[in-house]
Amino acid sequence: MTIGFGIVELVSIIMFFFSYYAIIVSRNMIKSIIFMSIMEVSVVMFWLSIGFNGNIVPPILQSMEGHSIENIGDPLTQGLMITAIVIGLSVTAVNTIMFLTLYRKYKTTDWDIVKKRQMAG
């Protein structure tokens, strides 16, 4: 097992913490939802980068022929990430619907104003 950082992993980690920072600082709900999606994408990218190097081939029979086992992509991470992407999609959908209902009630996209009005009742 090699332990070291490739460029893809580095980018995905930077993306992860960048989107986390953006979630903290943005008062706009839409932006929060968008950056949550970016966070999900960065995690998916991190998983796909596991065992990735420049000359890797997909784990499909035709393209695998003539390659040694180290150069074949890991099918497990790809299978898992399809699930994660689908979950991320439905999560974004639910988030957007809930945001819309909230927007119709309070007529604002600002977290702080919504919180104030909610506390007031």
Partner 1 sequence: MLVYFVIVPIIVGLILYLLYKSTLVRIFAVIAQLGLVIASVYMFIQARAFTVYEGAIKGGFLGESGIIERIGGYESVMGITLMADTLSAVFIMLTAFFFLIGVIYSFNEQKKPLFWMLMFIWQGALMGIFLTSDFFNIFVLMEVATLIVTVLILFERAKRSMYDGLIYFMANVVIMQFYLLGAGYLYRYTGTLSLYIANEQLKFIEREYIILPYVLIMTFIVLKSALVPMFSWLPKAHGTPGAPSSVSAILSGLHIKSAVYLFLRFQYTFEVVAVPEFFLAIGIITAIVGFIMALAQSDAKLVLAYHTISQIGLIFTGFNIGGPYSYIGSLYHMVNHAIFKSTLFLATGIISYAYGTRTIYDIKGVFKSMPLVGTATLLAIFGITGTPIFNGSISKYFIMSGQQGIMQYILIFMSLGTIISFVKFSTMLWGKPNINIETKKVDIAQQIPILLLGSLCFLGGVFGQQFILFMFNTELSVNPAGYLEKIIIFFISLVVGILIYKYYIKKSKLLKRVKQIDLGFRGICIAMGIFFGIMLIYVGFLQ
Sites of contact with partner 1 (CB under 8 A):
1, 3, 16, 20, 23-24, 27, 32-33, 36, 39-40, 43, 46-47, 50-51, 76-77, 80, 83-84, 87, 90-91, 94-95, 98-99, 101-102, 105, 111-112, 114-115, 118-119
Residue whose token pair is 């035709």: 62
3-state secondary structure of 52: coil
Nearer to partner 1, 32 or 64 (CB): 32
User: Taking the complex as a whole, how short is the minimal distance between the CB of residue 60 and partner 1, in angstroms?
Assistant: 19
- What are 99's two structure tokens? 């945001």
Burial class of residue 117 (count of CB atoms within 10 Å of its CB; 0-12, 13-18, 19+): middle
Nearer to partner 1, 64 or 117 (CB): 117
Nearer to partner 1, 55 or 104 (CB): 104
User: Taking the complex as a whole, how short is the minimal distance between the CB of residue 67 and partner 1, in angstroms?
Assistant: 19
**Please, are residues 7 and 16 in contact by the beta-carbon 8 Å criterion?**
no
Nearest Cα neighbor of 41 from 101, 107, 75, 91 is 91
Nearer to partner 1, 64 or 99 (CB): 99
Determine the Cα angle at 15 with ends 11 and 16, to 5°.
120
